């Protein structure tokens, strides 16, 4: 059975990423510790990508999600333990850390109203709405 150390102990820094300062970016941002799924999927993603070089990352992610769900609790347990260890290390290294998600700015959506075409405008001008009968009729004066 695959174990967390098989994935993580491949000469890399295993606490949170791939290097001494992997948690801190240039701006000083601290990354969250990996959860059990991330610990497991890290190695699995690499293997799946090598086996299927033309597979898109979105499809790889879907496959990984299905595979993770199919694992038994016993198969997942070592990854939850590793995630807990990483969480403890993270808490020790960054005692004042508080997760603060940054929401992306909303991209303005296209207006839901359609711009009328010349033909539709001409047709509209030929029609008359009768508020009493709630009927549309052609204008007689045109």
One DSSP character per residue, 8-69 reads: HTTTS--SSSSSTTTTB-TT-PBPPPP-HHHHHHHHHHHHHHHH-TT--HHHHHHHHHHHHH
Calculate mean pLDDT across residues 45-74.
95
| Residue 62 reports pLDDT greater than 90 | yes
Q: Is domain 4-93 classified as CATH 3.40.50.40?
A: no
Provide, rounded to the nearest whole percent, the portion of the chain with pLDDT above 90.
Answer: 45
For a pLDDT cut of 70, what percent of the chain falls above it?
Answer: 74
Side-chain half-sphere of 47: how many Cα atoms within 13 Å?
A: 10
Average pLDDT over residues 40-64: 94
Q: Give pTM, 2 decimals.
A: 0.58
Which pLDDT band, with edges at 50, 70 and 90, does 15 fall under?
very low
Give the pLDDT mean for 81-96. Answer: 96
Rounded Cα distance between 112 and 21, Å, is: 46
Q: What is the pLDDT of residue 111?
A: 65
Cα-based angle 39, 53, 66 (whole degrees, multiple of 5): 45
Say whether pLDDT at 73 is over 90: yes
């Amino acid at each position: 059975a695959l174990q967390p150390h098989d994935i993580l102990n491949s000469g890399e820094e295993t606490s949170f990423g791939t290097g001494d300062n992997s948690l801190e970016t240039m701006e000083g941002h601290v990354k969250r510790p990996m959860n059990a799924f991330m610990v497991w999927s890290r190695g699995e993603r690499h293997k799946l990508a090598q086996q299927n070089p033309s597979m898109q990352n979105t499809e790889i992610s879907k496959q990984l999600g299905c595979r993770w769900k199919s694992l038994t609790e016993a198969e997942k347990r070592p990854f939850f333990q590793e995630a807990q260890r990483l969480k403890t290390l993270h808490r020790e290294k960054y005692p004042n850390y508080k997760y603060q998600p940054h929401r992306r700015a909303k991209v303005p959506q296209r207006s839901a109203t359609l711009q009328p075409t010349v033909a539709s405008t001409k047709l509209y001008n030929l029609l008359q709405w009768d508020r009493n009968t709630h009927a549309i009729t052609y204008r007689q004066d045109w």
